[in-house]
Amino acid sequence: MYRERASAVPGAVLWTRTADAGAARVLPDGCIDLIWGEDAGLFAAGPDTRAHLSASPPGTRYAGLRFAPGVGPAVLGAPAHELRDRRVPLDALWPGAEARRLTERVAAATDPGTALEAVVLGRPSRPPVPYAPETAAGLAAGARVLDVAAALGVSERQLHRRCLDAFGYGPKTLARILRLQRALRLARHGFPFAELAGRAGYADQAHLARDVRALTGVPLGRLLTR
């Protein structure tokens, strides 16, 4: 069972999950998560370039903070490209004694999600990567990379470097992942695939089908049945 709500941590969503039988397909979304798991302690996840399957014994509890694109590096103190497609124990990012103490605090809490929020709110954050919010907003709205760079007054090469630190990959990959998320939202609202392809920014329905399968490993219709 999966649930989420707005978090007290700015730029984050708090989610909880109890594993059931089978593996959960985790889709790329441009985000970094700080996660506590009964079987894994505290660790950072993502950003992902492709979907991956997460399997745990049924009943295993998780709580996580999903940071909006570009927010996670300031909280975790590591550039996003160092976390790309990885699951990194917190003691590899923060001092080991502190990470162990915080892990024990969250594990002992009646509400691990609220305890996880307290962990983040109790630590200072670094300044965000310059232009990260504006870049994410522009690409999420479907703007071209060239136009986003021009609006920010930087070269495409400068934008690419900043995107690696803020999002874990270049702006073209981020734009592709955010386009996938737009398509999923439209599909869940019942738009026919042919119509949502154009609305989400794909050339046509065949382009939508190819890109969804490449990023998630399954057709769009199968994603909607989960």
Taking only the tens place, the pLDDT of each residue in 13-42 is 999 999 887 778 899 999 999 999 998 999
Question: Can you tell me the distance from the alpha carbon of 185 to that of 218, in angstroms, rounded to the nearest whole number?
Answer: 17
**Complete DSSP assignment for 116-131:** HHHHHHTSPPPPPPTT
pTM of the model: 0.92
Which residue among 89, 121, 153 closes a domain? 121
Question: The domain spanning residue 202 has which CATH number?
Answer: 1.10.10.60
* Claim to verify: residue 11 and residue 108 sit in the same structural domain: yes
Residue 193: which domain range? 132-224
**Domains contained in the chain, number:** 2
Lowest mean pLDDT among 19-23, 78-82, 122-126: 19-23
